[in-house]
Amino acid sequence: MKITVMTADEQILTLDVDRDESVIILLLLHLNPNFTSMELKLVENLKALLEVETQVPLQQQQLLHNGREMRNAEKLSALGVGDGDLVMMVANASSSNSRPGAPANTVGFNPDGSAVNPSAFQQHLRSDSNLMAQLFQSDPELAQAILGNDLNRLQDLLRARNRQRTELKRQQEEEMALLYADPFDVEAQKKIEAAIRQKGIDENWAAALEYNPEAFGRVIMLYVDMEVNGVPLKAFVDSGAQSTIISKSCAERCGLLRLLDTRYKGIAHGVGQSEILGRIHVAPIKIGSIFYPCSFLVLDAPNMEFLFGLDMLRKHQCTIDLKENVLRVGGGEVAVPFLAEKDLPSRFLDEERYSQEASGSGAQATSATKENISTPTGPSAGGGTGNNASQGPDFEAKVTKLVELGFGREQVIQALKFFDGNEEQAAGFLFGG
């Protein structure tokens, strides 16, 4: 373990400490390469050595660790001096004040860890290129604050680092107390178990930071550029949503609201509820340079414009190619890239809201398709049974509606019979054929 002592005249002394913190080897490469090791259990002994090497009398030394004064009778291990810690050696305030005209201590720390004089502290560190290089390695955020112009941020970081070290020290003290706890104390054993579990979590977190750092970043959902009825849109590609969905406002902007079939209105249940206003049976969408027919459920969902769901992904034989970061359509005849974060409107990047909408839209579309909405005005998605699928006015109404879309009557009847009167499935089959 290594610690660094920075003196008032900007000397940098590096200390090597063994694991049990009983021996410190001071490597004074710039002052005395032949210096040998000595036992330094007490702060007073460290000050005595520093007096020899820096010519600063022991009585005039003040050592600070994490903003706290290191008193002569304290042990280094008890102070929680850790690997890479910085110890500041400044002039003792009492001895300075005893001399008329002595300068005030400008690089000291307050009890909360903040600098007494942040501007002087900042300039003091900036002037030492070696120390700044060490800081950039061990604490780049603090190093950036020292080089910046925001003294409030620097003070906040110094306080935060002090709180972190204080908390770490407290945890270490609790762990030491648990080691000597009564093995038959149930509460103590629970705390030991919790400490072991937390240690495993911390080790797992540290491993993730090293080997899987991208897991801590934000994952951007899959969007592609499309045109719906000639209007360019950024489509959210969601293979977890059963149906393709368009919002009322987006359908109006695309000039499709006039085609809304309100007989398919109802309520979709997902993460919350959304009103299904109806269905647009067919409209052209342009992906890349090719036009494809598409059908939509129209939802009263102002925060979600257009969702390209599994029904159209299947129909147009789409492949989500994450290796090449493209959406392939028509079995590969068209490939359009997924959009980067910079290409998306800021409202699409609201993670909490939009992730709920994305997951909810899949459930909503599923509910809408399976129930096809259980309202008095909507046709039944379940259709009839094989015995009565071809009987009654409802069946004839379905035939008439599908024939109006351009399919032959016999073809429509066969499709309806095949799907037990389920109009949507029959329509999907006819469009797909």
Catalytic residue numbers? 238
Distance CA 99, CA 297 (A): 85
Measured CA to CA, the distance from residue 194 to residue 411 in angstroms comes to: 68
Q: What is the 3-state secondary structure (H, E, C) of 71-97?
A: CCCCECCCCCCCCCCEEEEEECHHHHH
DSSP for 141-180 reads HHHHHHHSS-HHHHHHHHHHHHHHHHHHHHHHHHHHHHHT
Environment class of residue 161 by beta-carbon count within 10 Å: exposed (0-12), middle (13-18) or buried (19+)? middle
Helix runs in 212-294, H state only: 248-253
For the record, the structure tokens of 177 come out as 């107390």
Question: Is 245 in a helix, a strand, or coil?
Answer: strand
Under 8 Å between Cβ of 309 and 238 = yes
Which residues face 335 on adjacent strands? 328
Contact predicate 412/402, CB 8 Å = yes
| Alpha carbon distance 141, 136 (integer Å) | 8
Instruction: Tell me how many degrees the CA angle 167-173-176 measures, rounded to the nearest 5.
Output: 145
DSSP H or E run through 291: strand 290-299
Cβ density class 26-39: b for 16+ within 10 Å, e for less = bebeeeeeeeeeee
DSSP H stretches of helix in 24-150 = 43-54, 93-97, 118-126, 129-138, 140-147
Residue 93's contacts (CB-CB under 8 Å, 6 or more residues apart) are 62, 105, 108
| DSSP-derived secondary structure letter, 407 | -
